[in-house]
Structure 1
Amino acid sequence: MDTASQLTHGAKVVLGAGIAFLVVSFLRWQEVSADLGSIGSIEAGQSMWHGIGVIAGLIAIVLVAWQAVRLANVTVDVGVSPSLITAALALLLVLFTFAKFLVDDEFRTFWAWLGLVLSVAVAVGAWLNLQAAGDAPGGAPENAAATAAEGTGADGRPVAPTPHVPEAGASEGVTDGGSTPAD
């Protein structure tokens, strides 16, 4: 069985968008050129890996490595669910990428915009991953019906039984003739 098929769709999005983000991070996010007349022209630019972008890049590396560990079925017990770690890293990635985007607001290129979009795609994938794992607020795991049938909720706490509510207009003890039986 293919190990990639064991990942949720959200985890696949996180991994794919994270790798694409890393590739784009090495391209020029800011670029300026000047025409020097008969001498020629000069161009200069920088990738995301300057200033606060270094932090975003390191977070992206950790995020992709974390997804690779999950893909390899290695269990790392850190006290919280893997989907929460992925979500936290994705949130940090979006925050630091957005900060880099705002700080270096002059001479942006297409690659800066694409990097920002990819960081948001990583966060969306992390949210989907949270929902699939049942860790999202209001989310339920895929086996929520089975745990509810056993009398426990998705978080393992007991669930109160659902009371029986008769349908509107229905009355207990009413016979076909519409009269109630005599006592």
Structure 2
Amino acid sequence: MSKNIITTPRYGKSFKDKLYLPAIYEGCKVTFKHFFTNLNDSNAVDTLEYPEEQPRDITERYRGLHRLTHRSDDTIACVACFMCATACPADCIFIEATEREDGKDEKMPKKFSIDTLECIFCGYCVEACPCDAIRMDTGIFSLTGVKREDFVLDKERLLSHKGAFGEEKSCARN
């Protein structure tokens, strides 16, 4: 049984290749060519004047900032099952459950917060939620603040975010 062994020749054995100067020269040549092309015609450079000009190429699959959804009767869709907090690898979702006041036989979150500084925006919380209560379809991609507390999204703030791509209500049953 013979094996087909392919030997790959090594390059760079010559003195010229060992100096790396020709390769550096070629790299600088390409860089300066682009530099002077862009310098002569700055309108050809595709730039975005952020924040005055917002991106227009955000797709529906983009995982933006989190939001909590409402049911068709405008109650919160979350039943405080802790599945999102359990699935979160960054451990940045904090839920405190309470009984519902509207007579339904289930729980609801008394407190629900997400620390976006710890969040890695993986989307596992969205996938784990059995009630379609949490989504990452706000289209919000930048969150600014002065202190750490500005980056912790509480229940009221999560409920105030709207979906950027259409459907506002949860698919969960009433």
Compute the TM-score of the two structures, normalised by the length of structure 1.
0.18
Higher strand fraction: Structure 1 or Structure 2?
Answer: 2
